[in-house]
Amino acid sequence: MASLTADAIVCAVRAHGEHGAILRALTQEAGLVAGYVRGGRSRRLRPILMPGNLVALELRSRTEEQLAGATAELLASRAPLLAEPLAVAAIDWVTSLTAATLPESQPYPALYRALSAVLEAIGVAASARQWAAALARYELLLLAELGFGLNLEECVATGSRDDLAFVSPKTGAAVSGAAAAGYEARMFPLPAFLHGADASPSLAEVLDGLTITGHFLDRDVLDGRNRDLAGVRERLVGRLGRAVA
């Protein structure tokens, strides 16, 4: 019998049968895992199986191929954020993205830590600007972990690490201000927080970062699929944009 006991971040819950639910959750050592929760749609379990929650997860199955039975005990709840539409939209997007794009049972410890940090930031940050920057960095990391990393450390044209001001939408590489002269309108502005230690970007800079990660997520990861998922992100970024205006 295969089994797993681990802390896990709830990423997606889908109804299965009359009362049950299929849970997909991210663990640090085993990556994204799935299991069937008996009574998962009950009044008692619905608040536990909320995307973004941290749970103590136990999976058991007779064979590696069989969908495991799952039980979950609540460790940290995101329920206090339900009254904040922007926070709810962010949690919905980042957990849905994780569930939809990561292959199961492959460890991504860096993504687990980063997702934990994003969810924590959404809960405690004084403004959307602070957690939105963490969200953009998470998307950048997810691209890299899936093999679509962007080269933001040096200019693709000159090799210089100075004056990095743009990102090519074709190559995903940084371009210096001097090398981009005359072609600025064809490129994405590169905010410093995506490649440096800037801990306090403006919300406009965060939106520039989300434009970059969104472009490459749509092109390389979502690849025209998951239109509903892309819509979740568009609505989130739209709400953030209105916060800037």
Proportion of the chain in helix, strand, coil states, percent, rounded to 5: 40, 25, 35
Residue 1 has pLDDT above 60, yes or no: no
Question: CA 149 → CA 44, 138, 159, 177, distances in Å?
Answer: 41, 12, 17, 22
pLDDT of residue 197: 64
- Residue in 34, 25, 28, 96 with CA at minimum distance from that of residue 64: 34
Whether 46 has a pLDDT exceeding 80, the answer reads yes
User: Can you name the residues that pair with 27 across neighbouring β-strands?
Assistant: 8, 31
Residue 242 pLDDT > 90: no
Classify each residue of 151-166 as buried b or exposed e, where b means 16 or more C-beta atoms within 10 Å of its C-beta.
ebebbbeeeeeeebbb
Largest Cα separation within the chain, whole Å, is: 63
pLDDT band at residue 41 under the 50/70/90 scheme: confident
Average pLDDT (37-56) is: 93
DSSP structure string for 30-44: TEEEEEEETTTTSTT
CB 28 within 8 A of CB 112: yes
pLDDT more than 90, % of the chain: 72
Q: How do the domains of the chain map onto residue ranges?
A: 2-77, 80-244
Per-residue pLDDT band at 229 (split at 50, 70, 90):
confident
Give tens-digit pLDDT for 153-199: 999 999 999 999 999 999 999 999 999 999 999 999 999 999 876 67
Question: pLDDT at position 223, please?
Answer: 74
Is the torsion defined by CA of 159, 165, 170, 173 positive or negative?
positive
Least confident interval from 9-13, 16-20, 124-128: 124-128
Radius of gyration of the chain (CA): 19
Residue 184, pLDDT score = 94
- Is the separation of the CB atoms in 121 and 131 below 8 Å? yes
DSSP H helical segments within 45-108, as ranges?
A: 85-101
In the predicted model, what is the mean pLDDT of residues 32-54?
Answer: 93
Torsion from C-alpha of 95, 73, 36, 8, nearest 10 degrees: 40
* Mean model confidence pLDDT for the chain: 91
Question: Has residue 128 got a pLDDT over 90?
Answer: no
- The yes-or-no verdict on residue 52 having pLDDT over 90 is yes
* 165 and 188 Cβ atoms separated by less than 8 Å: no
Local confidence band at 130 (pLDDT 50, 70, 90 cut-offs): confident
Percent of the chain whose pLDDT exceeds 70: 96
CATH class of 2-77: mainly beta
CATH tag, 80-244: 1.20.1440.120
The pLDDT tens digits for 69-116 are 999 999 999 999 988 989 999 999 999 999 999 999 999 999 999 999
